[in-house]
Structure 1
Amino acid sequence: MTGNSKLTAILFFIFYLILTYFVFVHQNMIAMYMMAIGMLLEATINLWHMFKS
């Protein structure tokens, strides 16, 4: 996924690592917003690469 880009994969890993931190410190609303943004970004990137080729 993520368009087979190493940079994108690393950025999403860091993003989800921060998301996990917010879950563990009970900042659930921030975590939910981040999860929604992350899933939308991943779907958008995958859709972009699907139509690009």
Structure 2
Amino acid sequence: MASDSKAFSLIMLIFYAILLYFIFADKNMIAMYMMGIGMFVEALVNCVCTFQSKTK
């Protein structure tokens, strides 16, 4: 991931821990929605960081 943000990394860790709970609790549809949202958010952050101006 191109993001160097510690806060974003911590949020995603908590998000995926909750996702793991839903998988083990056999809540498969909620887990699938969360997987889709998580992958989209990570791809969006990666895309924004990649195309962001490198001159600061």
Q: How many residues were matched structurally?
A: 53
Q: Give structure 2 stretches of 5+ with no counterpart.
A: none
Higher RCO structure (Cα 8 Å, ≥6 apart): 2
- Aligned-residue CA RMSD (Å): 0.9
| Residue matched to 1:46 | 46
Q: Highest CA radius of gyration, 1 or 2?
A: 2
Shift of the 9–2 alpha-carbon distance from structure 1 to 2, 3 Å rule, reads farther
Q: Retained in 2: the 8 A contact 1:3–1:49?
A: yes
Q: Which has the higher helix share?
A: 1
4+ long deviations beyond 6 Å: none
- TM, length-normalised to structure 1: 0.96
Aligned partner of residue 4 in structure 1, secondary structure: coil
Matched, 1:25 2:39: no
How many percent identity over aligned positions? 51
| 1:28 positional shift | 0.3
- TM, length-normalised to structure 2: 0.91
Q: Give structure 1 stretches of 5+ with no counterpart.
A: none
